[in-house]
Amino acid sequence: MFYQHRPDPNVPMEDVAGAVKELIQAGKVKHFGLSESNADQIRRAHAVQPVTALQSEYSIWWRAIEDDILPTLEELGIGLVPYSPLGRGYLTGKVDESTTFDSTDIRARNPRFTQEAIKANRVVIDLLARIGEQKGATPAQIALAWLLAQKPWIVPIPGSRKLERLDENIGAANIELTANDLIEIEKAMSKIKVVGDRY
Amino acid sequence: MQKRKLGNSGLEVSALGLGCMRMSFGDKLTDKQEMITFLHKAVERGITFFDTAEVYGPFTNEELVGEALEPFRGKVVIATKFGWKHGDKGPHPSAGPDSPAQSRSNGWPRPHSKGSESRLLTCSTSTGLTQMCQWKMWPER
């Protein structure tokens, strides 16, 4: 699959879609994707070359795409590939105020990883841990299971470099959140104001 | 692992994919061989959807993913991304897309995809071998 990494304000979406269409016709790539595009951009590209998936940030603590992007994807039959589904590691609950980030680590400059934000957002982890206790699951597994429960055409892509973490993530695919669980999460999240920009 | 379909496209992948960026970018350096072994173990566990991008590195992450998954050609899906400036500001949205290089009159995105092709050396379906042949026929620019 070949995604446009970000919309380019200087190139019409139709041209981008047309160029990828040619690549698909030539057998160079199989599928067309977009990333962080708005609803209008998705529609314009999709009209030229059907879009297989949108890759945008989506997780229990970053839900901006729910207003107009998710309904657009559903209407057009486009899949969603949420990136940073574990909030760049925060939603595992393993990050706290004493965590230090190597200068090469992109989180060292991320507003959601200041000590203040780490402390203020702990309530999200507490919620995930509380639900997790009922299910015998970790906070990360609940965060991923929550995403999987939103729509059947959502495929999160948590990053990992450790087998232990990979296995933990994979375990999330077998955790089922009931309608009541989702309502409980929804109620609790509506009372939480997440601190810090995502970039 | 369960599978899911991405929209109406018919593309079926494991319910969870694997983000590969930090295996060679945006974090402490890792050992390449170790990451190749890790990717193989992810395939063994049923992951069939791997995410990379040209700008991760730039280039090195596509190389890693392509090399590691070559033995699984036709069994896994690689997703990569084009159109992000490899500027001195590094991997940040404020760096913006590399607009001049993206003008269609310059042949964009062909130069990018050509690079991704040679780095990934693999593709998403059972027609993999055919595609390899086609890739070799791609005219040099």
Interface test with A, best of B82, B99, B118 (most A CBs within 10 A): B82
Interface test with A, best of B25, B29, B81 (most A CBs within 10 A): B81
Task: Give residue A6's pLDDT band: very low, low, confident or very high (50, 70, 90).
Answer: confident
For B100, counting Cβ atoms within 10 Å of its Cβ (0-12 exposed, 13-18 middle, 19+ buried), the class is: exposed
pTM of the model: 0.86
B97 is catalytic: no
Q: Which of B25, B49, B50, B56 is catalytic?
A: B56
In chain A, which residue's Cα lies nearest the Cα of B22? A159
Percent residues over pLDDT 70 in chain A: 100
In chain A, which residue's Cα lies nearest the Cα of B11? A52
Chain B environment of A172 (Cβ under 8 Å):
16
Task: Give residue A10's pLDDT band: very low, low, confident or very high (50, 70, 90).
Answer: confident
> Nearest by CB to B51, which of A19, A157, A162?
A157
Q: Do A28 and B49 touch (CB under 8 A)?
A: no
Q: Give the H/E segment covering residue B38.
A: helix B32-44
Q: Do B5 and A79 touch (CB under 8 A)?
A: yes
Task: Give residue A47's pLDDT band: very low, low, confident or very high (50, 70, 90).
Answer: very high
CB atoms inside a 10 Å sphere around CB A197: 9
Looking at the predicted structure, is the pLDDT value of residue A122 above 60?
yes
Alpha helices in chain A (DSSP H): 13-25, 39-48, 69-76, 115-120, 122-135, 139-150, 163-171, 179-190
- pLDDT (tens, 9 = 90+) of chain B, 141 residues, equals 999 999 999 999 999 999 999 998 887 788 999 999 999 999 999 999 999 998 888 788 988 999 999 999 889 999 998 877 554 444 333 333 443 333 333 334 444 455 666 666 433 333 333 333 233 333 333
Task: Give residue A69's pLDDT band: very low, low, confident or very high (50, 70, 90).
Answer: very high
